[in-house]
Amino acid sequence: MKKSTLVKLSALVLSLGLVTGCATTDQLKQMQADIERAQQTADAATAAANDAASKAGAAMNAANAAQSAADECAERCDRMMNKAMAK
């Protein structure tokens, strides 16, 4: 091969490498942006799930308290009914 042909071929390969490298860098930047968006979405979903779990726990506590109050009321009503029937 002639030296000039080798130089031209080297320049072409170098140019192609630089263009491809830039495209790859852009693709990596795009992929990183996509990953960051996915992480933000996952973080928001985790926060929403934690909030929902907290509210569910509070609702369960309120339901248990209401059930206890209803049970106590039922016991009082039974005692009053038994007292009234005994007379």
47-87, pLDDT tens digit by residue? 999 999 999 999 999 999 999 999 999 999 999 999 888 87
Report the alpha-carbon distance of residue 82 to residue 79 in Å, rounded: 5
More confident residue, 62 or 24: 62
pLDDT band at 1 (very low <50, low <70, confident <90, very high): low
Report the alpha-carbon distance of residue 10 to residue 3 in Å, rounded: 10
Q: What is the pLDDT of residue 17?
A: 67
Residue the block writes with tokens 């509210």: 55
| pLDDT tens, position by position, 7-20 | 777 776 676 666 66
User: Taking 60 as the threshold, does the pLDDT of residue 38 lie above it?
Assistant: yes
Please give the torsion angle defined by the CA atoms of residues 35, 38, 42 and 44, in that order, rounded to the nearest 10 degrees: 120
Q: What is the pLDDT of residue 83?
A: 87
Model pTM score = 0.56
